[in-house]
Structure formats: structure tokens, C-alpha cells
Amino acid sequence: MCIRDRLYAAGLALMANVTAPWLFVLTAGVLIGAGLSGVTFSVVSGVLGRRFPPEKRSMALGISAAAGSFGQFALLPATQWLLSTVGWHGALLTLAAAGLLIVPLAAAMVERRETHAHAFAQSAGQAIGEAFAHRGYVLLTLGFFVCGFQVVFVGVHLPAYLADRGFPAHVAVVALALVGLFNIVGTYTTGWLGGRVPKKYILSCIYFGRTVVFALFFWLPLSELTVYAFAVALGLLWLSTVPPTNAMVAQIFGVRYLAMLSGFTFLSHQVGSFLGAWLGGKLFDATGSYDVVWYLAMGLGIVAGLLNLPIDERAIKRPALQAT
């Protein structure tokens, strides 16, 4: 993880000095993208999943996701302040320095190698094959694709959508900060619920709920009040999918390869994220509005809600356990 942290910080620092488009792609896209891959929910969930018993695992994942949400909430106004005081160059360098703080913090997550006499003898390749042969895992992964599409479409294009409707820039900043703030509540709540309610129902409710929130926001008359109400409602549903998704993977397959299997679901999420950002801009350029993308986000929410309903959350029954 420490190498990825340094890549992330280096990407931010070098981005402050780009002089050509290809350098921007290299720093913001390649370096920061590679760095972020080492600090994603799948990596953190893999560590936490092995440190907490099943009855407390979902709650622990909810708390870690809520901490990430607080970072989003706090960083938006902080970054805005940096931009207004030291400019974008100074802001990027400051954020790069702050990113290096992750390195010593990551050291606390280093796990000791232990042998478990009760562990099931299974290679990483066998674990991947087992997961993708499991209908529920495939459905869960497809649903997580929709999550990525929806949150990144809103996160990237909401400021432009509001500006296109005549709102000043601060409305979008406040709205995204509210999303981050109420995401803390949402992720903590779904983490708590994950230990008490079938996780597939939590996920279905989140996806159906997003569809309702998108529809109301799109069809009701826009005002600052409705924008902020939308941000609060969406914040409660923003990354609240993460704790039940990762907890379900651990529940079905165990925790030995949790980080790897959660990584595949997160890969699906990131493919959806790319399409949410890219397709949002592409369709806006083609049609002159975001209407098509809003309808697409609503439709995908319904599909994702339906995909999660038939998932079998029961742990896989394996042959007699043997030493690894």
C-alpha cells in the first residue's frame, strides 16, 4: 500500500507542473489512478474483514466507509479555501504533502503472516473461479457497476448541470459537501443494518431509492432548496452500498481472499465510474443536455435493485477443511 500512496502523492505534485495534455493524462490519470487503487475500499475491507468476527464485520466496514465520507465532506471546503488563497498550483502541492501522511498510517495495517490449521486449501485462481461460478457474486458485481456509474456521473457532472440551469458555483460546492456529510450517516447505518438484515435487501433498497431520488430531482422544479434536499437524500445512499457489498463477499466466500474478490467487484464499479463520467459528457455534447443520462441512471438503478434480490447470501459449503 505504501508504494501506491507515494504514487498518489507524486501524481498530485507533478500535476501542478504539467505543460502538455499527455502529461496531464500521465499524472492525473495514470499515477493518481494507480495510487488510488492501493487505498480503495477493497484493500481496506480485506484487512478489516480478517480482523473482525462475522457479527461485527459489517459494522466495522461501515465505520471505515464513514471515515472516508468524512474526508470527502471536509476536503471540499478545504480545497476551495486553498484554491482561493494559494491557487491551484499551491493547492495541488499541499494536497500531495497531505497524501504522504497516508504512508505512516498504512504501516498500522500491515498484517502478520499466519498459518491457520482450519483454513481451506484453495489457490487464488481457484478462488476466482469459484466466485465467478457463483451466480450471486456475478449479480452483486453487475449491481456495483451501476453504483459506480451513478455516483461518478453525479459527482463529475452535477456542477455543470447546475451551472447550465443558472445556479452559481457555490451551490454545487455546498451540494457535494452535503453529499459527503450525509454519506457518513448512510454508510454507518448500512454497516449497522448489515449485521441485522439480509444485505441483498439493503442493496436493493439503496438502488431503488436512488432511482426515486433522481426522478424527483429531475422532474421537480429546481431551486437551491431542492438541490440541497437532493444532496442530503443522495448522500444517505451515496456509498452506503460499500459495507453490505464487501460484507456479503466475506459472508459467502470467507475472508482469505476477501481483498482480491472485493477488488473484482470494485473493478466493475470503476468501469461504471468511467462510463458515468465519459458518457455523461459525450451525451451532453451530442444532445446539448443531460436528460438522456438522467433517464439512463434511473433505469440502471431499477436494474441493479432487481439484480440484487435473488442473491443467495449463504456461505459456500466446501469439502472437509484441511491445513494449507
- Write out pLDDT tens, residues 252-311: 998 888 888 988 998 999 899 999 999 999 999 999 999 999 999 999 999 999 999 999
∠ CA(301), CA(302), CA(308), 5° rounding?
Answer: 90
Report yes or no on 258 lying in a domain.
yes
Instruction: Please give the pLDDT value at position 22.
Output: 81
User: Is residue 54 packed enough to be buried (19+ CB in 10 Å), middle (13-18) or exposed (0-12)?
Assistant: middle
Global pTM reads 0.81
The residue segments making up the domain with residue 275 are: 125-308
> Cβ of 209: how many Cβ atoms within 10 Å?
17
CB 4 within 8 A of CB 38: yes
Report yes or no on 278 lying in a domain.
yes
Report yes or no on 149 lying in a domain.
yes
Report yes or no on 94 lying in a domain.
no
Dump the DSSP string for 223-274: -HHHHHHHHHHHHHHSSTTHHHHHHHHHHHH-STTHHHHHHHHHHHHHHHHH
Report yes or no on 264 lying in a domain.
yes
The CA distance from 4 to 6, in Å, is 5
CB 172 within 8 A of CB 158: yes
Instruction: Please give the pLDDT value at position 120.
Output: 62
Amino acid identity at 27: T
Report yes or no on 175 lying in a domain.
yes
Instruction: Please give the pLDDT value at position 2.
Output: 58
Instruction: Please give the pLDDT value at position 65.
Output: 72
Non-local (6+) Cβ contacts of 255 within 8 A are 46, 49, 50
Instruction: Please give the pLDDT value at position 313.
Output: 92
Given a cut of 50, the residues of the chain with pLDDT beneath it are 114-118, 321-324
Q: What is the dihedral of CA 165, 169, 173, 174, to 10 degrees?
A: -70
* CATH number, domain containing residue 185: 1.20.1250.20
Report yes or no on 171 lying in a domain.
yes
Number of domains in the chain: 1
SS3 content of the chain, % helix, strand, coil (to 5): 80, 0, 20
Report yes or no on 67 lying in a domain.
no
